[in-house]
Chain A
Amino acid sequence: MTRVYLDYNATAPLDPGAADAMVRVAAGAAGNPSSPHAEGRAARRALDEARARVAALVGARADEVVFTGGGTESDNLALLGAVRYLRASHVVISSIEHPAVLAAAERLEADGVSVSRIRPDAHGVVDAGEVIDAIGPRTGLVSIMLANNETGVIQPVAEIARAARSRGALVHTDAVQAAGKMPVDVDDLGVDLLSITAHKFHGPGGIGALVVREGTWVEPLVIGGGQERGLRSGTSPVAMAVGFGVAAEVAREGLDAHAAARGAFTRRFEARLHERLPQVVLHGAAVDRIPGTTSMAVPGVPADALVAALDLDGFAVSAGAACATGAASPSHVLSAMGVDEALIRSTIRVSAGRTSTEDEADALVDALVRITARMPEAAR
């Protein structure tokens, strides 16, 4: 059976160019980038080049890029690191952040920091004004994601950042789902800290970055040899970084074309879906989303069974966000948007990639029609 992969927000397959580059580095001469010999210098060169490529994807300077173990670590480092360094007593986040941010905020709360969680509107947009109103003199950090992983809805980060910085608070954005899918520029956004991860745009899993703008400081979580400007100790994973760099460059150079492909898929898919299964409910469809993400519910068809049914028919999609064991947790994002509990339990996420096609969109709609037809009349 041909497989159609439509779960790019969970992870995107490794770019062949990135894979080749990684193998060359990994199979080549050994060298610790911190070592003073020729092998070390070669590794350092490769690492620097990768860092520059990653930086370029988000408009940062190379020395502002701190390699981490992935998006979760980047988010943890931003929240825990910045607030602890500043000894701040208040942070503002949204209630639709990734668990990496939510859990870090809970940890801060346990340490006595107060946390304001701003809820989104029914479309999944966090109102900039509400965030700004929550910023007070004691606020050390504001962390609002750039695009939500479940709905793809883009948040008004630049507007929030302008106001927050004028009030003396640092701004972090989790750009894990946005990077490589829409233009992301740290200067335009005006943020101090920005998280990305490689595998969401065809880089290797297990490496991400926190962009720490010049003049911003965070307390490290991983300490030791002082690598990554002392912000993330541990021997730098050169091959992984090289793959990250190549993927970042491919994503930057192909940004418009890839976004167009994703957008074409989504427009076709949602239009056909509306024609053939008019009962389907889309979340966040009326506002700006990153191209390629559709959050949708087929009323009466539980998401876990729908994802399984689609898998058996050759389509890989997810129920809300991917969970560690495959069991779907009720989405905190959709709950915060006020979506009805039963609809949440019927919500799946279809996320297209740069190679997704309109034919695949049509085939997915056909499969959804077939699966829905198995349900009793009342559920159709």
Chain B
Amino acid sequence: MSADTPVRVPPAGERVAVAMSGGVDSAVAASLLARAGADVVGVTLKLWCYGDTDLGDRACCSLSAIDDARRTCDVIGIPHFVLDLESHFGERVIDRFVDDYLAGRTPNPCVLCNQHVKFTALLERVRPMGATWVATGHHARLDPRGANGPELRRGADAGKDQSYALWSVPRDTLRHTLLPVGELSKDAVRAHAHEAGLPVASKAESQDICFVPDGDYGRFVAGRVEVRAPALDPGPIVDVDGRRLGTHAGVARYTVGQRRGLGIAHEEPLYVVAIDADTNTLVAGPRAALARRGFGVNEVNWVSVPGLADERRLGIKIRYRHPGTPGLVRPLGTDRVEVVLENPQDAVSPGQSAVFYDGDLVLGGGVIADRGEVASPAGVDAGGEERGQGASG
């Protein structure tokens, strides 16, 4: 697909708010919509404050992202506003992020943000502005002609596809959502940005979680905890048979699949195989012990279909950069499933998202359950992590 592909716009008389992060993808999303004749306003969401002061939050107002978005809107010729969704983000994303780490899980805050803030809360917030649609710069496609409403599909640029982080967006919200750059390759996005003279055309991509810019999740979590949390205290590292191997610095500082930072001399490399937050215990083992075939998935949202009636063979992605692997998805009620993979995977981290694909189509997704929540046929666990999954440029 090229930049000449017609861009879907809202029906005449309806306004769209483009969530502008200050990056190139959302800038091009706004530019494409404006060129296609849509009534567009740019909005930048104030989600997180880097420097609280006693005088309120003026210190963080000057973040360059806001300035970049504003300058971009000036070039496009559309209004730009800053909307404060900090309290939504704090409650729905950051609190959950901290709780998950303290529970030994590896959360995906971009998924939570897309679920609660970037789409749904934004759509509600722009309502007084007469905007009934939201658009973002995510690399994913939304086909409005699905039999049961909009269908979410992988972005045209396989290398940049962000559909993994969008499974959580409620279907009612998706009916009022546009993803204008999903049809474009990243090269085409950059080319459009240069051609349109957008000031962020050459801006580098951000990969870190937006509210932990230094990537030190352990320190961030520790800084957010008001009372003493056992998950931040040292505790035992044991092998898969329960033999003590050493001492860790607090389970909240580790991720399943992690190899570095265990501080144990062993004949073969050791990985974090499981985390038991209840006893503040890390289980370490060889790489072979990471492989996992079966796991439960909670909080399932069927984003493109009404639901799954029967067990079905689908492509399953267990982290952002995961290529996907075939497996059976068995519904357990409306919002839980059990997954049995055909090939055991090394990187099944509780708290990360499992997303179910039929080719390009995203049927739905959910949050990988803690080990033991659902009977695990292979009996072994796996790990790995990836950051910046849903960061919309």
Contact = CB atoms under 8 A, between A and B. Distances in A.
A308 B41 contact: yes
Contacts of A106: 54
Contacts of B82: 304, 325-327
A302 B58 CA distance: 19
Contact of B41 (A312, A345, A372, A376): A312
A103 B56 CA distance: 11
A309 B66 contact: no
Interface in B47-85: 54-58, 61-62, 66-67, 70, 79, 81-84
Nearest to A329: B56
A183 interface: no
Interface in B67-123: 67, 70, 79, 81-84
A327 B128 contact: no
B34 interface: no
B160 interface: no
B102 to A, nearest CB: 27
Nearest to A320: B56
A309 B61 contact: no
B79 to A, nearest CB: 7
Interface in B126-168: 126-130
Nearest to A312: B129
B128 A309 contact: yes
A308 B61 contact: no
Given A304-B81, A308-B81, A312-B41, A329 B58 contact: yes
A329 B57 contact: yes
B79 A311 contact: yes
B287 interface: no
B79 A312 contact: yes
B8 interface: no
A304 B127 CA distance: 12
A59 interface: no
A237 interface: no
A309 to B, nearest CB: 4
A371 interface: yes
A325 B62 contact: yes
A372 to B, nearest CB: 8
A305 B56 contact: no
Contact of A374 (B55, B58, B84, B128): B128
A75 to B, nearest CB: 14
B130 A325 contact: no
B128 A371 contact: yes
Given A311-B79, A325-B61, A325-B62, A305 B54 contact: no
B67 A328 contact: no
Interface string A60-89: 000000000000000000000000000000
A374 B66 contact: no
Nearest to B61: A325
Nearest to A330: B56
Q: Which of A301, A304, A375 has the most CB of B within 10 A?
A: A304
A325 B67 contact: yes
B130 A323 contact: no
B55 A308 contact: no
A374 B127 contact: yes
Interface string A77-105: 00000000000000000000001001100
B81 to A, nearest CB: 4
A167 interface: no
A306 interface: yes
Given A326-B81, A327-B82, A332-B55, A308 B62 contact: no
5 contacts: A308-B81, A312-B79, A329-B55, A329-B61, A330-B56
Report, nearest first, the 5 A-B pairs whose CB atoms are least far apart: A329-B56, A325-B61, A308-B81, A327-B82, A309-B129
Interface of A: 99, 102-103, 106, 301-302, 304-309, 311-312, 323-330, 332, 345, 371-372, 374-376
Given A302-B84, A312-B129, 19 more contacts: A99-B55, A302-B128, A304-B83, A304-B84, A305-B127, A307-B81, A308-B83, A309-B129, A312-B130, A323-B58, A324-B61, A325-B62, A325-B66, A325-B82, A326-B82, A327-B46, A327-B66, A328-B84, A329-B61
